[in-house]
Amino acid sequence: MDSVDVEHCRNTAVKLARTAGEVIKNAWSKKKSIQTKLSQVDLVTETDVEVEKLLRSGFKEIYPDHRFIGEESSSAGEETQFSDEPTWIIDPVDGTMNFVHSFPYVAISIALTVNKEVVVGVVYNPILDQMYTAVKEKGAFLNDTSIHVTSKQELSDALLALEVGSGRDEKKMESVFTNLKTFIPICHGIRSMGSAALNMCHVASGGVDAYFESGIHCWDMAAGDIIIREAGGVVLHPSGGPFDLMARGVLCASSQKLAVSVSEKVNYINYERD
């Protein structure tokens, strides 16, 4: 990590996220060209592809030696190669379903890993102009304001976020319904933003107290991981074990006690690793 200037990387990511945000805003009210991926509700638009290309070439120009993992390149068949080398992990439009419906919760999610640890995270919602950033050991911010998780410890007064996700198979549906049945009666309320990155940023900034989802990918949760940890929160695997970027699931919360309470009750699915 000695050779990586993390502040410079954060500034570059913020700049590129703003440029990418303009592409999303320009496409916002126009007719979108939509294709499906692994299911009828797993969508990709030409904007997802355009933004990923823009980010990829932008980072390549400035950091030619850095590696790259992107949602749309992976969907197009590129193998995920996660190594100790500096690696940009990117979701060009997190919340593609929201984008398609012009529901204003979409984000560009950008993370930099070094030695497999996330050291920079940037999540930008261009529609609401909300820029979440974090650099290792430097805190987490929403625009220029420092953010912190809540101090919630108890499930009984916690607001939880969860997602239905982009699969509709029986196992997934059963898991979602089981979780709704388990958590609705014992917490304050349930929310679903349609974007893993933004759910995580809302835990970091205190809007919700915990969030879990299984079936998502490293690009959905990499930036959120450091933003929550730098905001004082806890990021685990839904089993309650250590967070693993490639393990397709996340459970994050404002406190260790709350994270453990959720992990003891949550129903999650183990998906094939990224």
User: What is the contact surface with ligand LIP in residues (CB under 6 A)?
Assistant: 71, 91, 94-96, 163, 165-166, 195-196, 213, 216, 220
State the minimum distance, in angstroms, from the CB of residue 97 to ligand LIP: 6
What are the residues facing 124 on neighbouring strands? 108, 131
Q: Which residue's CB is nearer to ligand LIP, number 47 or number 63?
A: 47
> Which residue's CB is nearer to ligand LIP, number 114 or number 167?
167
DSSP assignment of 169-216: SHHHHHHHHHHHHHHGGGSSEEE--S-HHHHHHHHHTTSSSEEEEES-
The two tokens of residue 40 are 């009828």
* Residues 228, 149: Cα–Cα separation, whole Å: 8
Q: Which is nearer to ligand LIP, 10 or 217 (CB)?
A: 217
Spatial distance between the Cα atoms of 209 and 156, rounded to a whole number of angstroms: 11
Q: Residue 66: how many CB atoms within 10 A of its CB?
A: 17
Q: Is the dihedral of CA 92, 243, 215, 256 positive or negative?
A: negative
Of 133 and 199, CB closest to ligand LIP: 199
Q: How far is the CB of 249 from ligand LIP (least distance, A)?
A: 11
Q: How far is the C-alpha of 236 from the C-alpha of 259, rounded, in Å?
A: 8
| 16 vs 97 by CB, closer to ligand LIP | 97
Q: How far is the CB of 48 from ligand LIP (least distance, A)?
A: 7
Q: Quote the least distance from Cβ 232 to ligand LIP, whole Å.
A: 23
**What minimum distance in Å lies between the beta carbon of 198 and ligand LIP?**
8
Of 135 and 196, which CB lies nearer to ligand LIP in the complex structure? 196
Q: How far is the CB of 168 from ligand LIP (least distance, A)?
A: 11
Residues sharing a CB contact under 8 Å with residue 113, sequence separation 6 or more, in sequence order: 82, 86, 87, 89, 119, 222, 245
Distance from C-alpha of 224 to C-alpha of 48, rounded to nearest angstrom: 19
